[in-house]
Amino acid sequence: MSSVDFTWLIGGPQGSGVESGANIFSRVCAEMGYQIFGKREFYSNIKGEHSYFTVRIADKKIHSNVNDVNLMASFDAETIFRHYDEVVSGGGIIYDSDIAETKTDAVHTLDMPFKERLHKKLESKNKPFTVAGVLEIAKEKGVLLYPVSFKSILLTLSEETENPRLKGLIRMYNVIGVSLSLGLVKMPPDSLQKTIANIFSKKPEIAKINQQTATYSYNFAATKFENFDCSLPGTQKEPGTLLVQGFQGTALGKMACGCRLQPYYPITPASDESVYLESNEILEIIGDRPGSTAVIQTEDEICAMGMTIGGALTGTRSATCTSGPGFALMTEMLGWAGINEVPIVITAYQRSGPSTGLPTRHGQDDLLFTVFAGHGDFPKIVYASGEIEESFYDTSNCFNYADTFQVPVIHMMDKFHASSVITCKRFDPEKISIDRGLLLDKVEDGYRRFEFTEDGISPRSRLGMDNGIFWNTGDESDEQGHISEDPILRVKMMDKRMSRLELILKRIPNEEQAVSYGIEDYTIISWGSTIGPVKDALDMLKKEGISIGLVQLKLMHPFPAEYVSSLLKDAKTIIDVEANHSGQLGKLFKQNTGRDVDYFILKYTGRAMTSTEVCDALKKIVQNKAEKREVLMHGA
Amino acid sequence: MALKPAGFKTEVHNDWCPGCGDFGIVNAIQMALADMGVQRDKTAIFSGIGCSGKTSHYINTYGVHTLHGRVLTFAQGAKIANPEMTVVAVGGDGDGLGIGAGHFVAAGRRNVNMTYIIFDNGVYGLTKGQASPTLKLGEKTKSLPSPNTNSNVNPIGLAIASGFTFVARGYSYDIRHLKDLIVQAVKHPGLSFLDVLQPCPTYNDLNTRDWYAGADLMDEAQKRHSRIYKLEETGYEPTVHYDSEVEVNEKLSQALIKSLEWGNKIPTGVFYKNENTTPYTVRLQDKIPNYLENSPAKQTISKDGHPNTDISKILDSLEV
């Protein structure tokens, strides 16, 4: 049996059910045993602008999207205009035949730069500026076209089921698109029915209409669409497989490892995590009364950070979740947490900057900002998760680091994580350990919060603890926490705090600092969500006989210079792959190891890398045809 | 055993200017804490930045000297995580009504059960006397190069508009009265606000102790007529008794009108008090039934070094 690697794309105006359509499709495929890697792209808009979802399906573990689309389900003109050329020869486009004559100018959400590029292309091929025009180009390339009138499907259905409401229910278009797709690839229909029943389990009437529509559309495609050379009959399901959204990894990690306070201010793409935490605010505790997470929506990110610190001072594991602009507002308080040795976790879902940038798009723009955030010298940890599965366990590690080193920890995530939907192995809370460091349960007389100790870490009392009184101040302070401007004490206190950076490098296990996937002559350094596409690209290259090494950086600050240098000592050429303009990891690497990066593969279109384009760029490097800085551009 | 006010003093050298109104406030806080018999280690003073920010170092309870304008954010976080604490936040008028005005308004909407005291002197003392939010338009204190170009904010009015459920004004040279107000504020089940008129002897040469005492208003018999008077001595009734919209609106309007009085007659005392508005902690309890008895700070999160939280039901729902 040949291996399955199939990409499906659904698009439509924001608010038309693209996401729920993709959810049904992904769930069906996952139920049938396939591995999923899905990604949502959307505008900063509530209704009307173009959004789309690509779902890659395979019968082995996958870590990214690819360039090629095998089947596109569309119910509007814009999706076809924007994505027709991603569909490969032999692939298919399902579209609404009623819109075939729609002109580009009639689609007001097509922005000028895109329209100009499209018109140029259509002109060069001598095609009209219509849906039919671009479809002709696709057809000439070998794409199979599957026109169907969505309107007449609803009409027929409404007559058959004697339900006049159905006639005008255009919000069923997504289910029609999904079901036509599944019929075309001959996915066993039971799983579709089951998935719809599950999703609408609380609304049986709606479930019924959806199921009727699904059955009809599925059968329509299965019987009327021809020549499509791909079927997805299902495969052996791995037991214990989750279908998760990116933000659920950190959220579930927080629930499991005991984060009990999360103040936050709404910001894309971070708020989903907080909303999910609040939706699950009451927690089951083994052998005890229920626990809970207090999720507090604040007036701004400054308050979110202040409340997080206030909560942490009571001994509560406290975190906030934000993105670049919000983190920018938090930086003054980051220094306060630093000088007062307060353990907090800031989950930072990055997006494209600078300023508001591309607010709903991907970028790893904030590495240098977070590493250098805050005025003055103080210890902190910046930690980056690669894949979503890691983020569950990393979240717990971040809290342990915060507690044991008594420092603020910034846990770097990003938009690619947040809006991906993937299958992965069920998270295992038993693999998590909880280490609260020197947090005290009781205090002896004469307690001093910032007492000088051998390793520079002082036992930590908490607000409200008997005899544990301490003072905090953003000023330099003495051991009790009272303001002091004494020059000698100042040096001792600075040294006490800053010695923590060395301690962090010494005590965090190497494998949590950086992960080596093998060292070769050409070896990649990378971080964050980009690890996914890089891993898949390396697999693709291996099949062509090209071996490239990979070191994934996780502890970004303090930078594990010695360890990473030793890992890379046999690598002759170092390639930095990341999603920003300036190669921020490369800069950090050079600053800390003294070693130059030889090549950069960068992407800052706001869209995540695909493994295809990473693979192509790597090939160019190996063939000595690459620029020092390869910039990737794929994706609508 | 209940402590005397001296039990709430620290050994830290107090470096406020001689004659500073802040002394009266810190004394009144210490007296109020002693009066209420609070436990030192169940109490936390949060402070902002500036002269008033040092207050937390002079009081022998937990003391958290935070950042300029941000004191309410830290204090609310701590109170929400550990609702058993008595939390008092303090700061200057520049701190709370300038840089921190957004938090002031948002805190009013939240009504977390704690107290906020503003040391209101019309100047930024620690940066050498610039105009602060309560200084009036056109006034020129001694270190201003030219008269103030901003209108003033009305702290009492802003607190009332923002939803604070106990709003009062004290005077730092009437320590007993101020102490009584602090006791009432701390005991109030919700967010209480105290605007404390506090002469800055170094930089505010307009609203001085003599000015408040009415030295410039002496009558023919050379008798001073203090500008400060007490609302409770005029039959003013600040309290909402019946939680009816009509009564609430009447009491709010009355307080707002009172808050506009200034000049030769300056009211102190309680302007507005409403115990019927649900405190934030109770709002949380409505969502999380055992929030108060098992607050974030109280919860155990591990057993034998591993999580005791059972997320298996959520994981089941995500499993395919």
Decide if B77 and A434 are in contact by the 8 Å CB cutoff.
no
Q: Are strands A408-414 and A344-350 parallel, antiparallel or unpaired?
A: parallel
The mean per-residue pLDDT over the stretch A161-180 comes to 92
In 3-state terms chain B splits into helix, strand, coil percentages (rounded to 5) of 40, 20, 45
Interface test with A, best of B105, B299, B316 (most A CBs within 10 A): B299
The whole-angstrom distance between A634's CA and the closest CA on chain B is 31
Mean pLDDT score of chain B, rounded to an integer? 96
Decide if B290 and A292 are in contact by the 8 Å CB cutoff.
yes
Class of domain A5-224: alpha beta
pLDDT at A51 over 70: yes
Decide if B41 and A469 are in contact by the 8 Å CB cutoff.
yes
Residue from the list B73, B81, B306 with its beta carbon closest to the beta carbon of A261: B81
Asked if the interface predicted TM-score (ipTM) of this complex is over 0.90, the answer is yes
The whole-angstrom distance between A264's CA and the closest CA on chain B is 11
Class of domain A244-431: alpha beta
Decide if B63 and A299 are in contact by the 8 Å CB cutoff.
no
pLDDT at A444: 84
Which stretch of DSSP H or E encloses residue B114?
Answer: strand B114-120
Decide if A434 and B42 are in contact by the 8 Å CB cutoff.
no
CATH of the domain at B210: 3.40.50.970
Decide if B82 and A333 are in contact by the 8 Å CB cutoff.
no
Query: What is the span of the domain harbouring residue B66?
Result: 5-287
Taking contacts as CB-CB distances below 8 angstroms, the residues of chain A near B61 are: 469
Domain A513-632 fold is Rossmann fold (3.40.50)
Residue ranges, comma separated, of all CATH 3.40.920.10 domains in chain A are 5-224
Token duo for residue A356:
């508001």
Closest by CA to B141, choosing from B265, B264, B15, B152, is B152
CB atoms within 10 A of CB A438: 14
Taking contacts as CB-CB distances below 8 angstroms, the residues of chain A near B291 are: 292, 294
Q: Which residues pair with B319 in a beta bridge?
A: A242
- Alpha-carbon distance values, B287 to A294, B109, B280, B290 (Å): 10, 18, 11, 9
**Is residue B313 included in any domain, yes or no?**
no
**Is residue B30 included in any domain, yes or no?**
yes
Residue from the list B60, B70, B84 with its beta carbon closest to the beta carbon of A464: B84
The whole-angstrom distance between B187's CA and the closest CA on chain A is 18
Interface test with B, best of A280, A285, A449 (most B CBs within 10 A): A285
Q: What is the pLDDT of residues B66-91, one digit of tens each?
A: 999 999 999 999 999 999 999 999 99
Closest by CA to B86, choosing from B53, B54, B39, B52, is B39
Q: Which residues pair with B63 in a beta bridge?
A: A471, B45
Decide if B309 and A285 are in contact by the 8 Å CB cutoff.
yes
pLDDT band at B299 (very low <50, low <70, confident <90, very high): very high
DSSP A137-170: HHHHHT-EEEEE-HHHHHHHHHHHTT-GGGGG-G
Give me the phi and psi of A344, to 5 degrees please. Answer: -140, 160
The whole-angstrom distance between B41's CA and the closest CA on chain A is 5
The whole-angstrom distance between B99's CA and the closest CA on chain A is 12
pLDDT at A2 over 80: no
Burial zone of A112 (CB within 10 Å; 0-12 exposed, 13-18 middle, 19+ buried): exposed
**A205 CB contacts (<8 Å, ≥6 apart)?**
none
Q: Which residue has the higher pLDDT, A163 or A293?
A: A293
- For a pLDDT cut of 70, what percent of chain B falls above it? 100
pLDDT at A475: 98
Taking contacts as CB-CB distances below 8 angstroms, the residues of chain A near B44 are: 463-464
The number of domains in chain B is 1
Provide the terminal-to-terminal Cα distance of chain B, rounded to the nearest Å. Answer: 60
Q: Are A25 and A8 in contact (CB under 8 A)?
A: yes
Residue ranges, comma separated, of all CATH 3.40.50.920 domains in chain A are 513-632
pLDDT at B1: 62
Q: What is the pLDDT of residues B187-214, one digit of tens each?
A: 999 999 999 999 999 999 999 999 999 9
The whole-angstrom distance between B87's CA and the closest CA on chain A is 10
Q: What is the pLDDT of residues B156-176, one digit of tens each?
A: 999 999 999 999 999 999 999
The mean per-residue pLDDT over the stretch A85-105 comes to 97
pLDDT at A174 over 70: yes
pLDDT at A1: 43
Mean pLDDT score of chain A, rounded to an integer? 97
CB atoms within 10 A of CB A106: 13
CA distance B268 to B200: 18
Model's pTM, two decimal places? 0.97
